[in-house]
Amino acid sequence: MCTTEIIALARANPYFERLNASLIGLSVDSNASHLAWLYDIYLRTGIRVPFPIIADRNGTIARKYGMISNDISSTETVRNVFIIDDKGIIRLILVYPMNVGRSIPEILRALTALQVADANNSSTPANWAPCEPVILPSPKTFSELETRNSQIEKDRNGMSWYLGFKQPKDCKKLENLENKKIE
């Protein structure tokens, strides 16, 4: 992780906590290096990093998760983001090249989308933002298809039987995060 990402994630940590998510960093640097780095960040910015950074000196963890791209380097990690659910299942992987920083608002949006889709037995459409309509699951029977088409015609909440929408329950808007700059 680069310094700007550590600072951005530290500042965004309250948003992750509101989504019941815990941040963990992983680096192939040593623990002493991490301590010096975090201390320097604190001295220069006043920011205390509230999440652990795991020292993976030999790259064992990074290799198991496919974070080292041998085409680029045999020792440096690419900038991966893993969203792992409470059952230990990897639900999303974002891979950024070493020269492109992570987008914290996008990570929060994706985490929110996963939680909302799960809670509503639905999917999120392209460019979905928190509290926007979600996609209903496809009908399983012809009768459900007819009901869906009638509902869409009546409520104007879709395109056809295979693409209907509903407002999600338990909307989690993160204080207009997309309008706030998280550094």
> Residue 117's domain is classified under what CATH number?
3.30.1020.10
Q: How far apart are CA 82 and CA 65, in angstroms?
A: 9
Instruction: Give start and end residues of each alpha helix (H) in the chain.
Output: 3-18, 31-45, 60-64, 104-119, 142-155
Answer for the pair 133, 166: CB distance below 8 angstroms, yes or no.
yes
Answer for the pair 160, 149: CB distance below 8 angstroms, yes or no.
yes
Which residues of the chain register pLDDT less than 70? 1, 69-78, 172-183
Query: What six digits make up the tokens of 93?
Result: 């992987």
**What residues act catalytically?**
2
Q: Is residue 172 part of a domain?
A: no
- Same domain for 25 and 103, yes or no, is yes
Any idea what DSSP says for residue 175? T
Total domains in the fold of the chain? 2
How much is the pLDDT for 69? 65
How much is the pLDDT for 137? 96
Give backbone dihedrals phi and psi of 96, rounded to 5 degrees, phi first.
-105, 140
How much is the pLDDT for 183? 43
How much is the pLDDT for 107? 96
Query: What six digits make up the tokens of 135?
Result: 């996609």
* Among 46, 70, 68, CA closest to 56: 68
Q: Which domain holds residue 12?
A: 3-108
Q: Which of 108, 124, 152 finishes a domain?
A: 108
Q: Is residue 181 part of a domain?
A: no
Q: Is residue 29 part of a domain?
A: yes
Helix axes 104-119, 3-18, angle to 10 degrees: 30
How much is the pLDDT for 180? 52
Query: What six digits make up the tokens of 143?
Result: 């009768």
Q: Residues near 157 by Cβ (< 8 Å), separated by ≥ 6?
A: 133, 151, 164, 165, 166
